Amino acid sequence: MLIRQSSYISKLSKNELKKNSILNSMEKCLFSIDPRRTFVLDSLKNSSVQVLNSNNLDERPPFICTDSVNCPFYKEAKNIDLIELLKKTNSQRVSKNLAQKSQKSMVKNAHELFDYEKFLNKKITDKKNDGSYRYFKKVIRHAETFPKVQQLENNHELREITIWCSNDYLGLGRHPYVQSKVVEAVIKYGAGSGGTRNISGSTPLHYKLEDELASLHQKEAALLFTSCYVANDTSLYTLAKMLPNCHIVSDSGNHASMIQGIRNSNVPRTIFRHNDVEHLEEILKNLPANIPKIVAFESVHSMDGSICDLHKMCDITHKYGGIAFVDEVHAVGLYGHNGAGIGERDKALDKMDIITGTLGKAFGNIGGYIAGSSNLIDTIRSYGSGFIFTTSLPPPVLAGSLASIEISRSNEGRELRQKHQFYSKLVKEKLIKAGFPVMNSPSHIVPVLVGNVKAASGICERLSNDHGIYIQAINYPTVARGEERLRIVPNPHHTMKMIDDLVFSLVDAWIKTGLSLN
């Protein structure tokens, strides 16, 4: 039995097909191969059918051409042996079933060869046993009451607590002007950006915010990222891979995002002691003079609150032919006349080749950015995978960030920074007077050294349960083992009473945990 294959499909009634059991088998067979095919029988008296295959069902003719010579739609096709076709189809079905059974067997065998669930469960159990497992508190942050928030317990009980660990350093995330701009943007533009920057995801707000950030840091250009983690990772990786024979010199205290980008680049790297200018110079002068060098460090350290000597770090970097990559994440919005960070405060912006910052801390929104020369920014824009292949920041975030920067550059922003610094200094003084081992920190961050993971976590639990105070213990891997600490962050919206309550409550929790005061 032969099938002639043509270029279009038409349908015959099922009653006609049923007249011949062999043709009915053909129908089932061919439908299983391609459900877009139907049959036209030249004649039920002979043993051949013509299969009409359509590439465009919408353009197929509403008739069947029986005149193969004059029909404009007819195409001569090869003869197909129906019996062989049926055998082949059946064989394909059997093979498919065997493949499915084999796949299930492979999955079963894989778990017999290695018990993934058991392994993963043990890793989690290990963290719970050593006290470094992270439990996330469920916090409902009401804009009108911040820094007082509600903690959700047992999925239904609400309890008021005072938060002392928020990175919304100035409370701009709940500022009425910022809120109004966010609401205005979401009504006007919608919730999301709709794409990557390259594919429909670049709006006037993106360019406006980038221009504003470039102006803030006195640079030629800036580039937005979904977070500063991505900004650091992408920028360091991209530059290090592109610069020929590049060598990275990295501060030992650098954030995980910088470490990630450096490691992924696989270029030679050397670590210098945290903020140690002499050690940095010793390393740089022993490197070949003619190779590109990136010196990466933070202006304000996130966990110990130290501030680098920005002028010396940049000067030494340039002396040996390097470029300074400076993370200002914990400084933007908080230092300088306009809130541009330590670079502005110390009048060193012109020495900083690459500045990275965040919109998610002092500016109270989310996202990250880099600022630098036009060529540098365009290079990251053109080659940085972490920028290219991800959805861009949504309009409400852009509008909120623009509003926050506007406040930061105003007298109101300067007043907030002044009050913030005053409260930070006051909290340090009161804690030191009470006998706490407050680490030396010239910044707004107040680190209290505990040195034991279980004790640090225990203090925080007592503060929360007994006193309604939320401080987060900082444990490994954020800090080295043995350097566990409490990281306290005052806010200009705290009150004097809240500060006094904090000190009293911390003394109580500290002593009940079995620790002594100086």
Q: Is residue 272 one of the residues assigned to a domain?
A: yes
CATH code (residue 135): 3.90.1150.10
- Whole-number Å distance between alpha carbons of 223 and 190: 22
Q: Is residue 369 one of the residues assigned to a domain?
A: yes
* Per-residue pLDDT tens over the stretch 457-495: 999 999 999 999 999 999 888 898 899 999 999 999 999
Q: What is the pLDDT of residue 29?
A: 47
Q: What is the pLDDT of residue 156?
A: 75
pLDDT exceeds cutoff 60 at 50: no
Query: Average pLDDT of 265-290?
Result: 98
Out of 181, 219, 293, 361, the active site residue is 361
In this prediction, residue 132 has a pLDDT band, given cuts at 50, 70 and 90, of confident
Q: What is the pLDDT of residue 155?
A: 73
The total of structural domains in the chain comes to 3
Where do we find the tokens 């993934």? 116
388, 428: one domain: no
8, 36: one domain: yes
Looking at 344, 376, 409, the residue that finishes a domain is 409
pLDDT exceeds cutoff 50 at 36: no
Crossing angle of helices 411-433 and 496-512, rounded to 10°: 30
- Whole-number Å distance between alpha carbons of 334 and 311: 19
141, 258: one domain: no
Query: Average pLDDT of 315-328?
Result: 98
Q: Is residue 517 one of the residues assigned to a domain?
A: no
DSSP E strands in 259-347: the ranges are: 269-272, 293-298, 322-327
Its domain, for residue 138, covers: 129-171+412-512
Looking at 23, 50, 85, the residue that finishes a domain is 85
* Per-residue pLDDT tens over the stretch 201-248: 999 999 999 999 999 999 999 999 999 999 999 999 999 999 999 999
Q: What is the pLDDT of residue 188?
A: 97
Q: What is the DSSP letter of 219?
A: -
Q: What is the pLDDT of residue 363?
A: 98
- Whole-number Å distance between alpha carbons of 317 and 277: 10
What is the distance between the terminal CA atoms of the chain, rounded to a whole angstrom?
100
Looking at 381, 409, 437, the residue that finishes a domain is 409
- Whole-number Å distance between alpha carbons of 59 and 472: 67
In this prediction, residue 116 has a pLDDT band, given cuts at 50, 70 and 90, of very high
Query: Average pLDDT of 419-441?
Result: 97
361 is catalytic: yes
Mean of pLDDT over the chain = 87
pLDDT exceeds cutoff 80 at 297: yes
CATH code (residue 197): 3.40.640.10
State the CB neighbour count (10 A cutoff) for residue 13: 7
Q: What are the tokens at 458? A: 């225990």
Query: Average pLDDT of 360-383?
Result: 98
Q: What are the tokens at 350? A: 């012109």
The pTM score is: 0.79
Going by their DSSP bridges, the two strands 157-163 and 221-225 should be labelled as unpaired
439, 479: one domain: yes
33, 22: one domain: yes
Report the percentage of the chain scoring pLDDT > 70.
80
